[in-house]
A = this chain, B = another copy of it.
Amino acid sequence: MDERPIGVFDSGLGGLTAVREIRSILPSENIIYFGDTSRVPYGGRSREILLKYARQDVHFLRSFDIKALLVACGTVSSNVLPVLQQESDVPILGVVEPACRCALAATRNKRVGLIATAASVRSGAYERALAAMDGEVTVIAKACPLFVPLVENGRYRVGDCVIETVAREYLESLKEAGVDTLIMGCTHYPLLEEVVAKVMGPGVTLVDSGAQAARQLKESLTRRGALCTQRQGGITLYASDITGDFGALAPQFLREPAPQVLEVDIDKY
């Protein structure tokens, strides 16, 4: 048993959907979450800038005595995870590999779709991970740069003509390619699950990358004998910029009341 907390970070609020999954399957764990809200979004930035920001995010979370760190950001996971892992003696997990493992278990026709940020798609990380697991899988990837701002502005509900139009455009090529499994490679996308399911139709399995990463985190802690089981765990929320939006949206992502958000000057890390 290891009572130390788990660190989780994302560019902004999206990673809270992964925190929700961790809370659901690991209710005794304490979680320290950092959202880099002074520099959100990450999805359109270059690899160099992403590495710089991710190193600071890791450095901040490691200023606490954490037992594991989850990169709940598809963009960072797909671009710079191996570098972060090499530089750290605390186990660092990302969202790419667990999502690919789940997609491979789900696909029957070996045609897997990926929706993610521009930087995630550009990285080719999902293609590499899937190819390493199964050489016969074909990946069809589509960058969806408007999904994050639309979700952060509350436009993720079925019936909203704006999100439905954008979703139909983004998903058209994936439907035409006949994918039977679709990786939602950004932690904002679980809020779009109904919209995406409506466009893709009932024959396509959607893979929530945050949920899969939470499961891998549980496996990893179990293997190391580092699980915590004897108490009610809590959440501590940090952000690099605090505006009213964070407090208002956090409960929607967490699906539970959110604690007060604490501010951190991330440039000091």
Where the two chains meet, the residues of A that have a C-beta atom closer than 8 Å to any C-beta of B are 37-39, 44-46, 48-49, 118, 145-146, 149-150, 153, 155, 161-162, 165-166, 240-243, 245, 267
Dominant secondary structure at the A interface: loop
Tell me, in angstroms, the Cα distance from A70 to B249 when the chains sit together: 35
| Total copies of this chain within the assembly | 2
Tell me, in angstroms, the Cα distance from A203 to B37 when the chains sit together: 40
**Cβ–Cβ < 8 Å partners of A161 in chain B:** 161, 165
| B145:A49 contact, CB within 8 angstroms | no
The 4 closest A-B pairs by CB, nearest first: A149-B149, A49-B241, A38-B49, A162-B165
| A46:B245 contact, CB within 8 angstroms | no
Known: A162-B166, A165-B162. A44 touches B146 (CB 8 A): no
Q: List 10 A-B contacts (CB under 8 A).
A: A38-B39, A38-B45, A39-B39, A44-B243, A46-B242, A46-B243, A146-B150, A146-B153, A162-B165, A267-B267
The distance from the CB of A169 to the nearest CB of chain B, in whole angstroms, is 9
The distance from the CB of A36 to the nearest CB of chain B, in whole angstroms, is 10
**Cβ–Cβ < 8 Å partners of A49 in chain B:** 38, 240-241
Chain B residue nearest in CB terms to A56: B267
Tell me, in angstroms, the Cα distance from A45 to B12 when the chains sit together: 12
Chain B residue nearest in CB terms to A265: B52
Chain B residue nearest in CB terms to A45: B241
Tell me, in angstroms, the Cα distance from A241 to B39 when the chains sit together: 12
**Cβ–Cβ < 8 Å partners of A242 in chain B:** 46
**Cβ–Cβ < 8 Å partners of A150 in chain B:** 146
